[in-house]
A = this chain, B = another copy of it.
Amino acid sequence: MGNNPAMQNAHFVLVGGGLAGALLAAGLGRDGHRVDLYERRSDPGAGNFVGGRSINLALSARGIHALEQLGLAQEVLADAIPMHGRMIHGRDGSLHRQPYDRDPSRHINSVGRAVLNRVTIAAARKLPNVAVHFNHRCMDVDPARPAARFVREETGETVEIAGDAVIGVDGAYSAVRRALQRQERFDYSQQFLAHGYKELTIPPGSGGEFLMERNALHIWPRRSFMMIALPNPDGSFTCTLFFPFDGPLSFSSLRTQSDVSTLFEREFPDAVPLMPTLLDDFFANPTGSMVTVRCAPWHFGGRVALVGDAAHAIVPFFGQGANCAFEDCEELRRCLHEQDSRERAFEEYQRRRRPHAEAIADLAIANFVEMRDKTAAPAFRARKKLERLLHGWLPGMFVPLYTMISFTRIPYAEARARAQRQDRALLTGTAVLLLIFLVVVWRLWAAGG
C-alpha cells in the first residue's frame, strides 16, 4: 500500500461474480478492503446457477497458484480430474496418446466451472468485509464518480452503488468496459472466429464408470474442425464440437437430424455409440461463438479497472482463460500493495499484464490450428516426441511451449519469445545435423569409390 493510508480499507465495487470476480473479491477482502460483489445470476449455493460459459475447464499451474494463495487449491482439486495428455481419436476409431510432458505426473485438471465458482464465492462470503449480491444485472457505470447502476432481476428496481473504485470482472461482453468505450480515444477490437461451438455429452456407463480413458483430454482432430471431450467427476464427459458457422460443411448446413447423424457417423464413429442423446442435444443446445477482445486503457484513472475477460477475452484453445484471469487478480492486488495511489496501481497493473494478455490471446488462436489439424499428423507427433527428448536432455535449456504455459508461471509473453528462440535453434540444429550427415555419407561414398 506504499505509505498512503487512503489505499488501505478502500471500498471496491466488483461487477461480475464469475471465476475471476469471486476470486478477486476473496483476495481484496483478505487484504482488508471493503468489497461489494454484484452478480447477474442467482446464488450458486442455491443450486440453480447457470453458467454462461462451458461446463468445465482446464485448471493448470497459474490458476492453482492463485487458489493456493487463498488456501482454496486443495478443495478445488479434490473435485478435479487430472488429464495427463491428449487422446487423439482417428476417423477409424484408432487411439493415440500424446503426453503433455515428459514427466508423466504432470497434468492439467478438468474442473467444473460451477464447483470452482462455489468455492471462490464461499471464500469471499466468509469475510465480514465482503458482501455478495446476486440477481443484480449491471446496466451502466459512471466512471467519473465512480458508481455502478444495477437492475435487481427479481423486482426490476434500479440500485446505484458508489465506491472508491469499480472493477469490471464481467467477462467478454463487459458492461463496465462499455462505459470506458465511451471515453475519448479508447482502443478497442473484437474479432470472432469463423467457428462456433456446441456442447454435447457422453454420459457415464450404467455403473457410473467412464466409457473412455478417464485421465485424458480427448480430441477428434479433423483439420477444418474438431470435437474434444473433458471428463467430469460423475463419470460423464462434456464434449464440444468446434465447427464452422458457414460454408459447405458448417452449422448452417446441418439442418436435419440425418445431416447430423451422417456427419457424426463419418467423422466420430467411435463416439456415436456413447452419445445416446446426441441428436436432442445438438438441436436443443445453443451454438456459441468465440471472440478475442483487446482494448486499452484497462482503467480510468484510479476509479475503474478491468480484469480477466473484460479486459482481454481470449478463445478457449489453450485452456488459459481462467488461469490468465486469476493471474490478473494476483497482479492487481500486488500493484495495490506496492503503489501509493490507486491510479498508479491500475496503471502499473495494465503495464505488467497487457503484454502477457496479448501473447496468450495469440497463442490460444494458434493452438486451435494445432489441436484440430496438427495433432493428427505423424510429423507433429514426431516433433512432440523430439521436444520431450530435448526437454529431458537439456532440462534447463529447452522447455516446450505447452509445458511453459501449463506447468510453469513463466509470463506468457516470455514463454512465447523463448519458444520462438527454441524453434530457431531447433531448425539450425536440424540443418547442421543434416549437413554433417551428408558430409559423412559423401566421405564414405568417396572412400568406397
Contacts and interface: CB of A to CB of B under 8 A. Distances in A.
Interface string A177-195: 0000000111111111000
Contact of A187 (B184, B192, B245): B192
A289 B184 CA distance: 9
A314 to B, nearest CB: 16
Nearest to A291: B185
Nearest to A246: B185
Contact of A245 (B185, B190, B291): B185
Contacts of A186: 190, 192
Contacts of A192: 185-187
A41 to B, nearest CB: 22
A191 B184 contact: no
Contacts of A289: 184-185
B187 A188 contact: no
Interface string A187-208: 1111110000000000000000
Contacts of A188: 188-190
A414 to B, nearest CB: 25
Contacts of A291: 185
A190 B190 contact: no
Report the copy number of this chain in the oligomer. 2
Interface residues on A, range: 10 to 19
A337 to B, nearest CB: 27
A189 B192 CA distance: 12
A301 to B, nearest CB: 14
Interface in A137-196: 184-192
A101 B190 CA distance: 40
B191 A190 contact: no
Contact of A191 (B187, B191, B245): B187
A172 to B, nearest CB: 12
Contacts of A190: 186-189
A187 B289 CA distance: 12
Interface in A353-404: none
Interface string A317-350: 0000000000000000000000000000000000
Nearest to A190: B188
A127 to B, nearest CB: 39
A182 B439 CA distance: 64
Contacts of A189: 188-191
Contacts of A184: 289
A289 B291 CA distance: 27
Interface in A278-301: 289, 291
A196 to B, nearest CB: 9
Nearest to A181: B190
Nearest to A188: B190
Given A187-B190, A189-B191, 14 more contacts: A184-B289, A185-B192, A185-B245, A185-B289, A185-B291, A186-B190, A186-B192, A187-B191, A187-B192, A188-B188, A188-B189, A188-B190, A189-B189, A189-B190
